[in-house]
Structure 1
Amino acid sequence: MALKIYGVTIELLRGLRPIIEKIGGKDANLADQLRRAATSVPLNLNEGAYSQGRNERARWHTAMGSAAEVRACLDVAEALGYVDAVDDGLRDSLDHVIATLHRLTRR
């Protein structure tokens, strides 16, 4: 079952790419953590879409946790001055992904 939110997660990755690169110039570990969390979202989302039963929900929970981790990484990067305020549109997309995943895990 293909999910429309998958495309949103890919666009989110495109939007995060320059931020990850900028953070990488100041803190390679945080940039790597952000990159791993961000790539985990569409990978687990899509894996869940083609799974069944508990595996389906487990993958969506993992994707949701990774999306929340992306948000935390962005907050940390802002707090440490590695990046200026993250674009509101990017944060809105991230919140949309998290909300959608939350609904999927409750089905």
Structure 2
Amino acid sequence: MALRIYDVAIEMLRTLRPVIERVGTKDPNLGDQLRRAATSIALNLNEGAYSQGRNERARWYTAMGSAAEVRACLEVAEALGYIEKADENLLDTLDRIVATLHRLTRR
């Protein structure tokens, strides 16, 4: 079962790519953590779509946690002055991903 939110996650990665690069030049560890968390969203969304039962739900919980981690990385990068301000559309997209995954884990 393909999930529409997967395409949203891929587009979010495209938007996030320059931010990951900028953060990575200031703080390689935070840049790497941001990249890993962001890619984890899409990877676990897709894996969950082709899983069943508890495995399906576990992948969606992992993707949801990764989306929250991306938001935290952006907030930390902003607090440390690595980026000016996190893009509101990007934050809205992360919220949309979390909301969708929250619904999926509750069904």
TM norm. shorter chain > 0.5: yes
What residue is the counterpart of 2:84 in the other structure?
84
Specify every segment of 5 or more residues in structure 1 that has no aligned partner in the other structure, as ranges. none
Deviation by residue 1:1-60 (Cα, 9 ceiling, x = unmatched): 000000000000001100000001110000000000000001000100000000000000
Runs of 4+ in 1 over 2 A off after TM superposition: none
1:102 aligned onto 2:102: yes
User: Percent same amino acid at aligned positions?
Assistant: 76
The CA distance in 2 between the partners of 1:69 and 1:18, in whole Å, is 18
Alpha-carbon shift at residue 77 of structure 1 (Å): 0.2
1:55 aligned onto 2:31: no
Alpha-carbon shift at residue 61 of structure 1 (Å): 0.3
SS of aligned partner of 1:74: helix
Q: TM-score, normalised by structure 1?
A: 0.99
The CA distance in 2 between the partners of 1:48 and 1:24, in whole Å, is 29
Deviation by residue 1:65-96 (Cα, 9 ceiling, x = unmatched): 00000000000000000001111111101100
Specify every segment of 5 or more residues in structure 2 that has no aligned partner in the other structure, as ranges. none
